[in-house]
Structure 1
Amino acid sequence: MKLPLHERERVIIKSREHSRVLRQPIGAFLILTALCTFSIGYLSRDDLSDWLANNADVWMIVTLVLWAVLVIIWSIVPWVRWMRSLIVLTNERIMFRSTYSQGQLQSVGLFTVRDLVAYAKQNNVLTRAGTLDIVMNQGFVRIAHVPSVPYFRSLAMEAMTNLRSNHSVAHTETNSSEEMGS
């Protein structure tokens, strides 16, 4: 996917939501598959009651169709949403699209950011995934499931510092050139 970048904007880091959001869809797939195979195995037995043995083929088809529908709803759709999720840090803004957004890529300019607060649970020592709160004057924006959230925060803070220092240098150069022309 091509990102809508400004003229001098450069990507620092590009990622998607942490893969832990796929635990529930994978678990649902495994449980549904186990239930489906058990049901088909049970329906293929020879010692079924007469009313069930007469319609065993129909019940097998119903089981497979139900399995397919539930796998699409509970496993494939969340996986596709995760594949579309995006978290991008550039030298001018933070862009993100979460799994539950309507598909629009949202962005927050680094000039409007007052602070970045990273939350990571203690049991996520290995992945260090967590939540990033972008604090602005009007409120905050929360980005969930950021992989290695302390590292992402440090990169974003560094980008904010560089952006503000470059802006102040450009601003003072503009002011001094205007004074010379007077």
Structure 2
Amino acid sequence: MGYPKDNLAPDETVILHRHPHWKALVLPVLGLLLATGAVGAAWWWSRSLEVSDTTETVIGIVAGVLWAVLVIWWFVAPLVRWATTHFVITDRRVIFRTGVFTRSGIDIPMARINSIQFRHDLVDRILRTGTLIIESASDDPLEFNDIPQVERVHALLYHEVHDYLTEDDDETAQP
């Protein structure tokens, strides 16, 4: 699914649209498995007890509610957060948006980008992800974590900035 066209300026073109790398979902998936296993074990254990049907039903309901809360907390919320985080490069700017109820974002015009760096450790290199660091005019460097194929994105963004600045210089040089 592409970035919504109604969030772009007229004639603005999306060059790249990324969500954070899937590694951001590893812990939530482990949380889902852990919650399911723990609640399943508790339910199985409660079935082996000599208790009344009503007590067994109450234990089952409590286990189900506990499982639902843990799944929402550990899996659904991070999944929604991941799905609503967008890193977008257009022909005019870099866009970063995140959040569901409280949205936040930043737009960096191509003309204001001074330098572009990336950083990744061994695990990030294996997973082909990393941190993209963009320094814009008069601002502290902005770090965008878990960008998939960070080296490719770095090179693409560098070329876009170069093309944008070269195009801008050509327009100002003409009489």
Q: Same fold by TM-score, threshold 0.5 exceeded? A: yes
Q: Would you say 1:42 and 2:48 are equivalent positions?
A: no
Gapped regions of structure 2 (runs ≥ 5): none
CA deviation vs aligned residue, 1:33-82 (integer Å, no higher than 9, x gap): 0011111111111xx35xxx132221121111111111111111110111
Residue type of the partner of 2:160? A
Equivalent-residue separation in structure 1 for 2:101 and 2:22 (angstroms): 17
Question: CA separation of 1:146/1:101 partners in 2, compared to 1, >3 Å: closer, same or farther?
Answer: farther
Structure showing greater radius of gyration is 1
Superposed displacement of residue 24, structure 1: 0.9
Task: Give the equivalent residue in structure 2 for 1:157.
Answer: 158
TM-score normalised by structure 2 residue count: 0.89
Any conservation in 2 of the 1:98–1:143 contact (CA below 8 Å)? no
Instruction: State the Cα RMSD in Å.
Output: 1.8
Q: Would you say 1:2 and 2:4 are equivalent positions?
A: yes
Superposed displacement of residue 155, structure 1: 0.3
TM-score normalised by structure 1 residue count: 0.86
Q: Would you say 1:24 and 2:27 are equivalent positions?
A: yes
Give the secondary-structure state (helix, strand or coil) at the position aligned to 1:139. Answer: coil
Q: Would you say 1:167 and 2:174 are equivalent positions?
A: no
Instruction: State the identity as a percent.
Output: 23
Equivalent-residue separation in structure 2 for 1:7 and 1:34 (angstroms): 51
Equivalent-residue separation in structure 2 for 1:126 and 1:141 (angstroms): 24
Superposed displacement of residue 101, structure 1: 9.1
Runs of 4+ in 1 over 6 A off after TM superposition: none
Any conservation in 1 of the 2:43–2:60 contact (CA below 8 Å)? yes
CA deviation vs aligned residue, 1:8-53 (integer Å, no higher than 9, x gap): 32111111111111011100000000011111111111xx35xxx1
Question: CA separation of 1:98/1:120 partners in 2, compared to 1, >3 Å: closer, same or farther?
Answer: farther
Equivalent-residue separation in structure 1 for 2:139 and 2:64 (angstroms): 51
Any conservation in 1 of the 2:84–2:100 contact (CA below 8 Å)? no
